Chain A
């Protein structure tokens, strides 16, 4: 018997439910009946499940690296026993084959919850709030509910998506990538690096594919979606209707009764294309830049907006003159610093060891398939809440804690890990915002951007984890930025790869500033804070 298209779709859904562990009793009975009776259904099932097994394998291969020996998971200990046993029966190579297969298993990390700031109020006009008061520049927490009773408010999510809310309106900020509009009118502008940003309510969920769109929620379960530029994926909620792709100048109304056209859509489009004038927050900035464009010697000159900053110059330290000569390589822009696994550099940076926020941005090239020498930029701290431990930016070598090879920032009491494997021999733009927070209760904030896209804003806290012994020697020196070396650990560990165009700014850069830095290698000229 041949399966009909409809049956194939249903079987596909049932197989998906088996794989994802969401099979209901009714679905189980339906599937069992099918598999018991139909050879064709069984063959489809085996192909579908076999495909998932293959996807597990392919996804694992992307992460395939032996785990760090310091990881203590139970499963790994069992595997070590197995590997030892295989070692006696077979050969070390055979044990390695099995070991590599199993090494991809996840390990459990006990993560303590941490407060997370995910957006900022970046503009307003005559805004009135139901509770409290917000001013441009204020940060917004994950899951914070905003009740705008009148006026306009612009919220910039850390993903780069910008939303203008027109009061009266109610918006839940769920994360840097996701908001829920309960009622009112919202207009979203989503730059390419924030593709995937999502606005939902009880009637519809809109995933942005790089565009400008508006949502008008009536607060009674219906919402209208109007696309001003680009396209969006709109998925009606609570119905079996599939996802609808809406393109420029298209609009739909979503309600429990179904999907329909928007009445008076022309008028609404006309209103929405008018840009409101907002009072915007323009934060002050100071920064230092190292171009690494030198072709010889150990001096690396510092500047800011074209002004030399000799006090911040960096010095290279190499094991031999030949290594020093080889450290000036072709860069992403002009020249770059080539690190050979031994070379390192240091630069004075007064204030970097304190609790003030910083953004560290640079281009990095990590060799394809690298498995050691991960340490890019570090600085010591004298901050009590960080146990005076350093902040260190590297790529992740611990697959049990996150994606292997992804951008990682360690600090006293926790770490953050991104998603993109940097070890591909290509240049990537990295920007890390780090803020210890002045007050004891203030959360430590780490936001990591790779190639302009936010990769992580959450941190994993590791309270009570025994820290290494206090820093000694040069590594204990404060107000120094170290390039290409690790400040903790018994053995010196360095970086292998290339760094170019390092900027260190004294505040969190806005997502659009990070993109501008990536594209144009420029930050705004240092200014004073203002609302303009």
Chain B
């Protein structure tokens, strides 16, 4: 059957809108299972292509993120076979359990992402700089240590402390929104 060109244009627009809105959530899901920025970005790229190919299978009005995360899950499973052993953090059973939990928490993670911006602003400038340098493209713990004048050991300690601080701040902000209004 020939495709209706008008339907195809609408479909493209819808796909574009959904990808623009939810790309970050799909990345977060992938990163939770493949905690390496470059690998996660490669997988997001591959997942995006499959989403595009299969978009006709998506039922409008259903949960796009859940559908996209399913596609991502199969890409990740496929890629696990190619990864060097050192990159596979957990065995299949644990991995599947984490994936299930991550899939269920997509909305919460999105809320946490929004709240995190506020918590980052509350950090002292020196701490915020350390955290953001660590996560900057092309950077890492070594660069964050160098720029902040810390040793690697001190940088690891400080980062763990700050990640926990941010985690607690976000949790508090979501459970006590009135205190952060």
Contacts and interface: CB of A to CB of B under 8 A. Distances in A.
Given A97-B20, A207-B154, A20 B132 contact: no
Nearest to A420: B129
The prevalent SS among residues of A at the interface is: helix
Contact of B41 (A35, A86, A102): A102
Q: Which of B45, B97, B131, B136 has the most CB of A within 10 A?
A: B136
Interface string B30-67: 01100111101100110011001000000000000000
A50 B16 contact: no
Given A51-B116, A56-B31, A63 B137 contact: yes
Interface residues of B, number: 70
Contacts of A105: 38, 41, 137-138
A55 interface: yes
Given A54-B113, A235-B157, A94 B16 contact: yes
The prevalent SS among residues of B at the interface is: helix
Given A48-B163, A90-B16, A200-B151, A53 B31 contact: yes
Contacts of B49: 82, 85
A306 interface: no
Given A12-B160, A20-B141, A56-B31, A235 B135 contact: no
Nearest to A78: B45
A198 B152 CA distance: 12
B71 interface: no
B2 interface: no
A527 to B, nearest CB: 33
Contact of B132 (A62, A90, A178): A62
A73 B114 CA distance: 32
Contacts of B148: 196
Given A48-B163, A51-B170, A90-B16, A21 B36 contact: yes
B24 interface: yes
A219 B153 CA distance: 22
A35 B97 contact: yes
Given A49-B32, A90-B12, A97-B23, A12 B150 contact: no
Interface in A12-33: 12-13, 15-16, 18-23, 28, 31-32
Nearest to B170: A51
A55 B135 contact: yes
Given A51-B166, A198-B151, A20 B126 contact: no
Contacts of A195: 126
B156 A16 contact: yes
A460 to B, nearest CB: 13
B81 interface: no
B112 interface: yes
27 contacts: A12-B160, A16-B163, A20-B156, A21-B36, A32-B91, A42-B98, A49-B32, A50-B32, A50-B102, A51-B167, A52-B163, A53-B28, A55-B116, A55-B134, A58-B132, A59-B132, A59-B135, A60-B136, A91-B13, A94-B12, A97-B23, A101-B44, A104-B137, A106-B139, A177-B149, A205-B151, A242-B157
Interface of B: 12-13, 15-16, 19-20, 23-24, 27-28, 31-32, 35-38, 40-41, 44-45, 48-49, 52, 89-91, 93-94, 97-98, 101-102, 105, 108-109, 112-113, 116-117, 120, 126, 131-141, 146-151, 153-154, 156-160, 163-164, 166-167, 170
10 tightest Cβ-Cβ pairs between the two chains A and B: A106-B138, A196-B149, A59-B135, A53-B31, A177-B149, A53-B28, A50-B109, A94-B16, A55-B135, A49-B32
